[in-house]
Structure 1
């Protein structure tokens, strides 16, 4: 599977800048790893896969300090990386 180069997404979270480089391989792995009873661990893994090296420590601290931040970050990053498309049905 080829991995396309994507532009880094920088977010400021609780006053801390974090840079992420999402890609199709990591995005697809997130979707494939989530189940009805397992959502948080795949999101943490996904963020770890796409975080830029210089943001890794800050991400770890945010994950430790703020319960649920992994869900908020994943939602925000994916809204930018994979925006909803307008799809029309034609008969």
Structure 2
């Protein structure tokens, strides 16, 4: 992808919401991730869909609903503190 976008499965893996890219892709392909980009919300269906800085993601993880804003795309899957810098929680975790 470009510097302005990143595949959603790669981003979820880098941000440590999925243990592997394959698990991240499965999560996306089963329709468990919603993306809001420029005010338009879409239920993602393909792991290759791009995510951009400023997009809002909504998905269930561990029985909780996560609402977060993409703060950075990341260069690699790094340690936990590096992963936490890739997003900010936008709403309450339910």
Per the normalisation by structure 2, the TM-score is: 0.28
The structure with the largest alpha-carbon Rg is: 1
- Higher-strand-fraction structure: 2
Greater share of helix: 1
